[in-house]
């Protein structure tokens, strides 16, 4: 099953990349605030039970995909 | 406007924030019995934390010699400053970022580098070079590979983006750091000796300005985290991790150096640990003034921030400064030009109090000097640890059999502490700004050229090295610490530099354990003894206590960084050229660690004794750190260093490398591995054993020994020089060829291809990290 994991910095963590992009957008005259940049991970996990697939994706997040000190993930089974 | 979600201030809350019951009582007396507000309690807990107040260490730090003819600024400011002549000075300091790096290795190490850089450029100095001293656990310990990789990448990420070259450092591995790694960062900068900026909030009515990045909820209460042990529960207590932004810091650096060219700044201080709290209290305390700060005017990154958070945030890349009256707008204009925030947030007052207001309402009203003076100062109980006698008395294994020499050497070359740190240091930019004369892995110390503001060579160069053998400190806390001083200075001698000042970073365990406190005191006394003998002062430093996990303390690790001067180093240098070319162009006044030519004689300066205690070899054989700490003969050390410096100045000595972890054979091999611009060459060692054990001769770690190479014509001059300085010396072999051979008393013990051994040494760390 296709799974989409969206990883974002936890609230309050400084995001220098987001800050740079925000400044860039301001340079083009856009009005925008609080730009935060994360990453999107697509996975294809064998299985038919969405709950089980989601649990396995969660295990992958815990082990490797997410830095639990700074990031949080939301998992979507498509 | 009231502040939402503020907990009620009670004694249990104070204890939770790290204050002791006694400290809570002192606090109440200071406030004449009134309860502190929540932000006030935050101020107390930060200012009286171990990290900010040095409450356990202060009485012992007094033992450190801090004065000397070159010292312009000793400990107590953001960094120490030492005169290098002709109107120039260098500012330098070393600082720990151990706990944050264990929690989040990349950002912890990166912000450690950022913090020490700010400490140095706050003084008005342009940073010239960095060093780092790292201690990791066994590579196979849980999380350790990730910690090594993350820390190295974090240091590289910050330093490289800032464009500050890394000149060296040291890195060792031991099980005692399995649950508590050490990340100590060092920065050195250059400044005019009459243009030093300090953290003084003086001049009643002067404006307090906030410059740099906005304040977020970064590392709230990092200072009190650094003052507590890690345990199972620390997962939950994790504060928001501080994230470094080196490009912003680069802007802040350039903006600060630009305003330092003017007379607009009266005082300035970096907002480091405990952020706005410690910077404002320290600045006012030094000047004997008061401060009024409008907290609601502090630039904020997030909505809903509270006075407590603003006072304690450890957001990076921020400074607090006092402006000369009328210069505020000009300062703001410069900061805006560099894309940074700057605003007036308060005034210097004559009240002697810190008043923090929130939309017009005072939420903090504390006396500054009494709060600083009442900071706890403990003479904690001390007790000599029981293990010391047991490890010293541990029996040695039987001497090594000749047939085991080759296998042992191969194992030693691959031990993480001995193996080449190439995998780590190749991530660091070592030559950016093109002033590096001797970079990482090429000499016992790094050397950088000093240029003026216009980029013109001043003809001076500065050398630096950081060292500490913590196994020696474990076996003998006093002499181990003295060894660290001696070795750091010895490394300067090996490149031809005269030591002019030291900075220390004293990493120890929980001071509430009497054994740790005794060890700390002994460390300070050992440093004192070595500093006095070698005539070099400590000008800045940092203490990191509570390096424990689950009740297990690290080995005592008093890291010492030594800074040396090479007075006349003018002339062209071919960059990136092999040592032979680069160094001969500066008239042989500098010296690398690698052999420079075939058929040179290899000499050992200093004496080898039967000293296996604390050696990598003994660890390999027995799995334990034990035995007696090698002796340190400071009078001999002084003569040895003077001898090598003079030999380099005279152009006699072509390479010099001190023996350290791994002993004599490893030291000679390291000089061979780096030869031919890193290609390596062979060498033939012919040793005489005398009454020594074979393993002491080959792999013992007797201190005060330097392996040098000289040309055939210079051999008799070296003999004369050593005799003049009363330094024992012996010819131990010759350079050249493709093979490494080792013979003891004429008996061949080993004949191997040098390139193959070099491969083992060069690749071991990378292979171990997987």
3-state secondary structure of B65: coil
Is B104 in contact with A20 (Cβ distance < 8 A)?
no
Contacts of B315 in chain A (CB under 8 A): 14
Is residue B319 within 8 Å of B271, Cβ to Cβ? yes
Asked if A14 and B302 come within 8 Å (Cβ–Cβ), the reply is no
* CA distance linking residue B143 with residue B610, whole number of Å: 38
How far apart, in whole angstroms, are the C-alpha atoms of residue B353 and residue B274?
18
Cross-chain Cβ contact B245/A14 below 8 Å: yes
The proportion of chain A whose per-residue pLDDT surpasses 70, expressed as a percent, equals: 100
When CB atoms are compared, the residue of B103, B216, B238 closest to A14 is: B216
Q: Residue A12: its chain B contacts at CB < 8 A?
A: 216-218, 240, 302
Helix orientation angle between B105-122 and B144-162, rounded to the nearest 10 degrees: 40
Of B104, B213, B244, the CB nearest to A69: B104
In this complex, the residue of B216, B245, B316 whose CB is nearest that of residue A12 is: B216
Contact call for A13 and B218, based on CB within 8 A: yes
Interface contact B28, partner A, CB < 8 A: no
DSSP secondary structure of B92-150:
EEEEE-HHHHHHSHHHHHHHHHHHHHHHHHHTTPEEEEEEEEEEE--TTSTTHHHHHHH
Residue B484 has a pLDDT of 98
Task: Report the residue from A13, A16, A20 with minimal CB separation from B241.
Answer: A13
Kindly list the residues from chain B whose CB atom is less than 8 angstroms away from the CB atom of residue A19.
245
The answer to whether the CB atoms of B339 and A23 lie below 8 A apart is yes
Tokens of B365: 């009203």
B33: buried, middle or exposed (CB in 10 Å: 19+, 13-18, 0-12)? exposed
Residue B49: count of CB within 10 angstroms of its CB: 26
In a mutational test of the A interface, the residue from B105, B145, B216 whose CB has the highest number of chain A CBs within 10 Å is B216
Best B105, B239, B301 member to test A by mutation, with max A CBs in 10 Å, is B301
Rounded to an integer, what is the distance from CA A5 to the centroid of its chain? Answer: 6
Residues of A in contact with B107 (CB under 8 A): 70
- In angstroms, what CA-CA distances link B199 with B115, B342, B461, B675, B686? 15, 18, 28, 47, 58
CA angle B142, B144, B146 (to 5 degrees): 110
Helix (H/G/I), strand (E/B), else coil: B566: strand
Q: What is the ipTM of this complex?
A: 0.85
- The helix (H) or strand (E) run that includes residue B50 is helix B50-53
CA distance to B155, B197, B404, B487, per residue, from B610 (Å): 39, 51, 19, 19
Beta bridge partners of A9: A71
Residues of B in contact with A27 (CB under 8 A): none
Q: Which of B101, B90, B163, B91 is nearest to B133 (CA)?
A: B101
Contact A12 B217 (CB under 8 A): yes
Question: Which tokens go with B352?
Answer: 């002697």
Closest CA to B541 of B254, B186, B300: B186
Q: Phi-psi bin for B143: left (phi > 0), alpha (psi -120 to 50), beta?
A: left
Of B302, B316, B339, the CB nearest to A12: B302
Count the neighbouring beta carbons within 10 Å of the beta carbon of residue A7.
Answer: 18
Catalytic residues of B: 51, 97
B103 with A69: Cβ contact below 8 A: yes
SS (H, E, C) B82-93: EEEECCEEEEEE
Please check whether residue B248 touches A, CB under 8 A. yes
How many Å apart are CA B171 and CA B506, to the nearest integer? Answer: 16
Q: Are residues B107 and A10, on separate chains, in Cβ contact within 8 Å?
A: no
The three-class DSSP label of residue B56 is coil
Q: Which residues are paired to B724 by β-bridges?
A: none
Containing B40, the helix (H) or strand (E) segment is: helix B38-47
CB spacing of A69 vs B240 below 8 angstroms: no
Question: Strand B126-136 relative to strand B182-192: parallel, antiparallel, unpaired?
Answer: antiparallel
Q: Which of B29, B711, B763 is nearest to B367 (CA)?
A: B29
Contact B563, B82 (CB under 8 A): yes
Between the alpha carbon of residue B450 and those of residues B194, B380, B587, the distances in Å are 17, 44, 17
Read off the tokens for A15.
Answer: 């995001």
Alpha-carbon separation of residue B643 from B497, B671, B708 (angstroms): 12, 19, 11
Token pair listed for A58: 């969660």
| Partner residue opposite A13 with nearest CB, options B243, B248, B339 | B243
The CATH T-level fold of domain A2-77 is Mth169; Chain: A , (3.30.1280)
Long-range contacts at B10-13 (CB < 8 A, ≥ 24 apart): B13/B41
The arithmetic mean of pLDDT across residues A40-58, rounded, is 96
Predicted confidence at residue B585, as pLDDT, reads 42
| Interchain contact, B243 vs A16, CB within 8 Å | yes
**Which segments of chain B have a pLDDT < 70?**
1-5, 221-239, 571-589
Instruction: Give how far B355 is from chain A: nearest CA, Å.
Output: 27
Give the domain ranges of chain A. 2-77
State the sign of the Cα–Cα–Cα–Cα dihedral B24, B30, B33, B38: negative
* Measured distance CA(B277)–CA(B673) in Å, rounded: 51
The secondary structure element, H or E, covering residue B291 is strand B290-294
């Amino acid at each position: 099953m296709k799974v989409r994991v969206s990883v974002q910095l936890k609230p309050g963590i400084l995001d220098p990349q987001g800050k740079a992009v925000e400044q860039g957008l301001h340079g083009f005259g856009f009005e925008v605030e609080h730009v935060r940049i994360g990453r999107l991970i697509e996975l294809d996990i064998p299985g038919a039970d969405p709950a089980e697939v989601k649990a396995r994706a969660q295990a992958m997040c815990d082990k490797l995909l997410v830095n639990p000190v700074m990031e949080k993930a939301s998992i979507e089974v498509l | 406007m009231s502040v939402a979600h503020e907990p009620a201030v009670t004694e249990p809350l104070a204890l939770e924030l790290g204050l002791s019951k006694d400290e809570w009582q002192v606090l109440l007396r200071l406030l004449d019995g009134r309860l502190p507000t929540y932000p006030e309690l935050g101020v107390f807990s930060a200012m009286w934390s171990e990290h900010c107040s040095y409450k356990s260490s202060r009485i012992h730090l007094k033992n450190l010699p801090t004065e000397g003819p070159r010292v312009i600024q000793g400990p107590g400011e953001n960094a120490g400053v030492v005169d290098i002549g002709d109107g120039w000075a260098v500012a330098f300091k070393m600082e720990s970022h151990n706990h944050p790096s264990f929690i989040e290795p990349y950002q912890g190490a990166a912000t450690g580098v950022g913090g020490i850089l700010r400490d140095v450029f706050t003084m008005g100095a342009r940073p010239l070079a960095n060093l780092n001293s790292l201690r990791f656990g066994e590579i196979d310990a849980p999380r350790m590979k990730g910690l090594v990789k993350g820390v190295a990448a974090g240091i590289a990420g910050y330093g490289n983006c800032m464009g500050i070259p890394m000149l060296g450092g040291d890195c060792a591995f031991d099980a005692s750091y399995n649950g508590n790694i050490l990340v100590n960062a060092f920065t050195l900068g250059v400044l005019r000796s009459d243009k030093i900026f300090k953290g003084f909030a003086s001049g009643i009515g002067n404006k307090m300005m906030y410059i740099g990045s906005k304040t977020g909820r970064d590392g709230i209460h990092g200072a009190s985290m650094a003052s507590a042990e890690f345990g199972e529960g620390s997962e939950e207590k994790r504060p928001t991790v501080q994230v470094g932004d080196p490009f912003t810091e680069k802007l802040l650096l350039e903006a600060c150096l630009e305003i330092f060219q003017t007379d607009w700044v009266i005082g300035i201080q970096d907002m480091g640990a405990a952020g706005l709290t410690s910077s404002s209290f320290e600045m006012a305390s030094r000047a004997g003034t008061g401060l009024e700060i409008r907290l609601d005017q502090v630039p904020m990154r997030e909505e809903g921030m509270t006075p407590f958070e603003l006072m304690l945030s450890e957001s990076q890349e921020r400074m607090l400064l006092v402006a000369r009256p009328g210069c505020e707008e000009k300062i703001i204009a410069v900061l805006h030009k560099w894309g940074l925030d700057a605003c007036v947030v308060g005034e210097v007052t004559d009240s002697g109090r810190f008043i923090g207001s929130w939309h017009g309402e005072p939420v903090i009203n504390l006396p500054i000097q009494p709060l600083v003076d009442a900071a706890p100062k403990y003479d904690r109980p001390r007790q000599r640890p029981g293990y010391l006698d047991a490890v010293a008395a541990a029996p040695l294994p039987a001497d090594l059999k000749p047939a085991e020499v080759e296998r042992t050497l191969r194992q030693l070359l691959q031990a993480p502490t001995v193996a080449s740190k190439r995998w780590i240091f190749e991530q660091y930019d070592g030559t950016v700004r093109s002033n590096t004369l001797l970079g990482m892995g090429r000499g016992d110390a790094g050397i950088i050229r000093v240029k003026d503001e216009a980029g013109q060579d001043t003809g001076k160069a500065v050398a630096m090295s950081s060292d500490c053998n913590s196994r020696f400190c474990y076996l003998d806390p006093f002499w181990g610490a003295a060894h660290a001083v001696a070795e750091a200075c010895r490394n300067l001698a090996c490149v031809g530099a005269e030591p002019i000042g030291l900075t220390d970073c004293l990493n120890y365990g929980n001071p509430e354990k009497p054994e740790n406190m005794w060890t700390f005191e002994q460390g300070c006394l050992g440093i004192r003894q070595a500093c006095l003998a070698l005539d070099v002062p400590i000008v800045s430093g940092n203490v990191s206590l509570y390096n424990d996990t689950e009740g297990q303390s690290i080995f005592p690790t008093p890291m010492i960084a030594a800074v040396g001067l090479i007075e006349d180093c003018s002339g062209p240098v071919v960059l990136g050229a092999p040592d032979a070319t680069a160094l001969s162009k500066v008239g042989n006044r500098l010296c690398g660690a690698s052999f420079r030519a075939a058929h040179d004689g290899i000499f050992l300066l200093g004496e080898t004794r039967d000293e296996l205690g604390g050696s990598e070899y003994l660890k390999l054989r027995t799995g334990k750190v034990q035995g007696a700490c090698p002796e340190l003969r400071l009078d001999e050390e002084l003569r040895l260093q003077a001898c090598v410096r003079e030999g380099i100045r005279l152009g006699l000595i072509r390479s010099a490398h001190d023996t350290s972890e791994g002993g004599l054979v490893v030291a000679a091999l390291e000089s061979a591995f780096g030869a031919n611009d890193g290609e390596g060459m062979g060498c033939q060692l012919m040793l005489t054993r005398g009454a020594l054990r074979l393993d002491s001769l080959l792999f013992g770690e007797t201190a005060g020994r330097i392996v040098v190479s000289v040309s055939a014509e210079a051999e008799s001059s070296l003999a004369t020089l050593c005799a003049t300085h009363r330094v024992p010396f012996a010819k131990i072999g010759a350079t050249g060829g493709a093979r490494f051979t080792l013979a003891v008393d004429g008996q061949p013990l080993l004949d191997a291809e040098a390139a193959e051994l070099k491969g083992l040494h060069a690749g071991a760390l990378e292979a171990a990290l997987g």
